[in-house]
Structure 1
Amino acid sequence: MSSLTDLCRYPIVQAPMAGGPSSPQLVAAVAEAGGLGFLAAGYKTADAMRHEIEQVRAATGGAFGVNLFMPQPALADPAAVAAYQAYRGSLAAEAATYGTPLGDPGAGGGDDAWDTKVAALLAEPVPVVSFTFGCPTRDTLDAFARAGTYTIVTVTTAEEARDAQWAGADAVCAQGIEAGGHQSTHHDDPRADHTGIGLLSLITQVRETVDIPVVAAGGMMRGAQIAAALTAGADAAQLGTAFLACPESGAHPLHKQALTSPMFVRTALTRAFSGRPARSLVNRFVREHGPDAPAAYPQVHHVTSGLRGAAARAGDAQGMALWAGQGHRMARELPAGELVELLAAELRTAGRG
């Protein structure tokens, strides 16, 4: 099995961004430039995942990865169910405004077709598979190892990193609270909302806990920031928001524009769109619904999916999930390959290339 440093020319990883941004074109362009690109299998069928893998393989011989969402527990606690139902009711006016029904909370189940996707990736292995929202069992990680696939578990604490190493992961991705999109906590505790750890502190804590490679993730937009993460003990850096504005990104044009728009000047962690803490640009939907959003993932995600789609079709960025890290205003509208090369040049300038 290849090591993490053997997989790509530069220690630059394009984050898996579910919902469309991590297009096969983006992943292939990053791989061709010497970085490690990631497809996001979340919210897709296994067949759709396979099709995207085929597209990447047809476009590049470079290394790439696929990210899987871990199965989530059922919403069983009566108080949690009641909070979810109340939140669903509060969205009726949004549905009327956009002229679309609320989504089915049971769509896709809570396992995101986990078994089918794992079976597909074991039957036709890809170089790397990463995991979000938890850690697979040792049996699953061992199966990927036998298939020759490098495994990375996304973590938000040193304890999660320790558990991932014990389970047999090849590496961990340490996600700081600065990161855009969902926080990949292994157990969603509403009492811990907004109490995540900053990236540099997290890298140090994880590095002192495990002896497997560490990929850093969280708000990085420049080569100098990557250099700081490497100096802190990371082996590579994963960037998501930095690649959102690339022409190959599948992000909606309004999402790309919002990254540097004076209308969106800050981000916040919110459950408003999915029921899990996720960092988004603050828009009307976040302000109006964030305070009442319950811990109910993926139920809230499915219920709001139609609203988000209708807002995008209407050209209304105020109703969309505008995932973004804290460094979003430093986004550069460059082709993905050029961005990888520029980040690598900046990294060399900072003395880490």
Structure 2
Amino acid sequence: MTATPHLLQRIGITLPIIQAPMTGSDTPRLAAAVSRAGGLGSLGCGARSPAAMREAAAEVRGMTDRPFAMNLFVLENPAPEPAEVQAALQRLAPLYARFDLPLTPPARWCQDFDAQWQALLELRPAVASFTFGLLSAAQVEQLHRAGCLVVGTATTVAEALAWQNVGADAVVASGVEGGGHRGTFLAHTADDWTASQIGTMALVPACVDALSIPVIAAGGIMDGRGIAAALALGAQAAQLGTAFLACPESALVPAWREALAQAQGSDTRLTRAFSGRWARGIVNAAMRELGPEEDALPAYPIQNALMGPVRKAAAAAGDGGRMALWAGQGVGASRVLPARELVEVLEKEWRAA
């Protein structure tokens, strides 16, 4: 199908390189460095309060006048039954005890999406991207009136078409190789979730063939060869997450950096242990301990909030066995480079390929 004008021109960037939004792992310094280098830096705002969103956006704008993206999780505030919460807490009791944490539920399960939405409209980033759900056509039009390009995340062609149908400007085709959370939102059963685990090489061309809007490839892309491959499949840009995790500008704690440096792709797998939503990370003790009960764990964001104190305590203690060590299957190709230098290397590799 005929594509709209090239995505890079619409965003105002020169390189087909997008730093993935990585909630809890990215920083304003990382986003600004990527944008200054000619790519598109991103702020993962799924866990940021509206005040933190404003602060992060101001920091980026204080470092660069180049375009950047802000990403939100499309979520409703859950209302779990008390019995479900107590059962989940009991499963986590050994982990809470390990760090002397009180076995009590959190004050809230997630950030309020409506409040984040209002902050996003106020901040008017060049690109507003979304994961875990689907906006309405009216919401997309609100963002367009605010001057934002809208990018949705899809793990199947059906999800990509859903984003196109509400007026999105582009879609991230997110392959199962990628690190962190799956963006799947049309799955309702375990079988649906399994069916959405499509590799990047299969998903990208299928989306390109089905859509009339630009496709961004994501999942397992670590170097310029991967970017060239994505463009050869018809994508207009490549989104890299794990490749930027090792940059000194990211927010990784030492234990996570150490695990990243030692891991290979065969060391990662999908898990619901840390958040209640399928996500890819480096296998560790918590994944092994909770793995047998994964099907019984509550859904995101309940499990995510209940594991929050454990993740925080483990990070403070340097305990990589109980942290969420998100990483994609390309982790073995990680390079410890400043973000600007990494973008320059990626560009050279891409042009050579």
Q: Does the alignment reach a TM-score above 0.5?
A: yes
| Distance change in 2, residues 1:102/1:325 (3 Å) | farther
Which residue number corresponds to residue 316 of structure 2?
Answer: 313
**Distance change (3 Å), C-alpha of 1:295 and 1:93:** closer
108 and 45 in structure 1: CA distance in 2 versus 1, 3 angstrom threshold? farther
What's the CA shift string for 1:58-82, capped at 9, x where partnerless?
A: 0001110000110147366x8xx86
Give distance in 1, aligned partners of 2:5 and 2:52: 27
* Mapped partners of 2:303, 2:183: distance in 1: 17
> What's the secondary structure of 1:347's corresponding residue?
helix
Question: Number of paired residues?
Answer: 344
Report the counterpart of residue 333 of structure 1 in structure 2: 336
Structure 1 partner of 2:275: 274
- After superposition, residues 80-95 of structure 1 pair within 5 angstroms as 85-95=86-96
Partner of 2:34: 30
CA–CA distance in structure 2, aligned partners of residues 71 and 85 of structure 1: 22
Matched, 1:134 2:133: yes
Which is further off, 303-312 or 116-125? Answer: 116-125
Query: What is the distance in 2 between the residues matched to 1:165 and 1:339?
Result: 32
SS state at 1:154 partner: strand
| Aligned counterparts of 1:237 and 1:184: Cα–Cα separation in 2 | 16
Q: Alignment partner of 1:197: what SS? A: coil
Aligned with residue 14 of structure 2, among 9, 16, 33: 9
Q: 1:4 deviation in Å?
A: 2.4
Question: The residue matched to 1:169 in structure 2 has which SS?
Answer: coil
Letter in 2 for 1:301: N
Pair 1:49 & 2:53 matched: yes
| Greater alpha carbon shift after TM alignment, 247-256 vs 97-106 | 97-106
Q: Distance in 2 between matches of 1:107 and 1:124?
A: 25
Deviation of 1:260 after TM superposition, in Å, equals 2.3
Q: Secondary structure at the match of 1:208?
A: helix
The structural deviation recorded for 1:158 is: 0.2
Structure 1 CA distance for aligned equivalents of residues 286 and 30 of structure 2? 28
Question: Does residue 299 of structure 1 match 2:302?
Answer: yes
CA, structure 1 residues 143+334, in 2 after alignment: closer, same or farther (shift >3 Å)? same
User: 1:103 Cα deviation (Å)?
Assistant: 5.9
Is 2:284 the counterpart of 1:283?
A: yes
Mapping of 1:199-218 within 5 angstroms? 199-218=200-219
Partner of 1:260: 261
Query: Any conservation in 2 of the 1:102–1:303 contact (CA below 8 Å)?
Result: no
Q: Distance in 2 between matches of 1:174 and 1:106?
A: 35
2:350 alignment partner in structure 1? 347
Query: Deviation digits for residues 79-134 of structure 1, max 9, x if unmatched?
Result: xx86664332111011111111346356244xx32112221222231100000001
Question: Does structure 2 retain, via aligned residues, the 8 Å contact 1:41–1:67?
Answer: yes
- Counterpart residue identity of residue 134, structure 1: G
5 Å-filtered alignment, 1:148-227, equals: 148-188=147-187, 189-195=189-195, 196-227=197-228
Root-mean-square deviation (CA, aligned residues, Å) is: 2.0
Q: Deviations over 1:237-269 (max 9, x none)?
A: 000000000010111121122112169951010
User: Structure 2 stretches of 5 or more lacking a match?
Assistant: none
Identity within the alignment, %: 44
Distance, in Å, in 2 between the alignment partners of 1:295 and 1:231 is 40
Q: Report the TM-score, using the length of structure 1 for normalisation.
A: 0.92
Q: Deviation per CA, 1:140-198: give whole Å up to 9, x if none.
A: 10011111100100000000011110101000000000010000001453334444000
Shift of 1:46: 0.3
Letter in 2 for 1:331: S
Q: How far apart are the structure 2 equivalents of 1:83 and 1:116? A: 27
Residue number in structure 2 paired with 1:119: 118
3-state SS of paired residue (2:261): coil
**2:13 is aligned with what amino acid?**
C
Q: Give, in whole Å, the separation in 2 of the partners of 1:86 and 1:116.
A: 30
Kept in 2: contact 1:87–1:292 (CA 8 A): no
Q: C-alpha distance in 2, partners of 1:262/1:145?
A: 41
Change (3 A) 1:264 1:235: closer
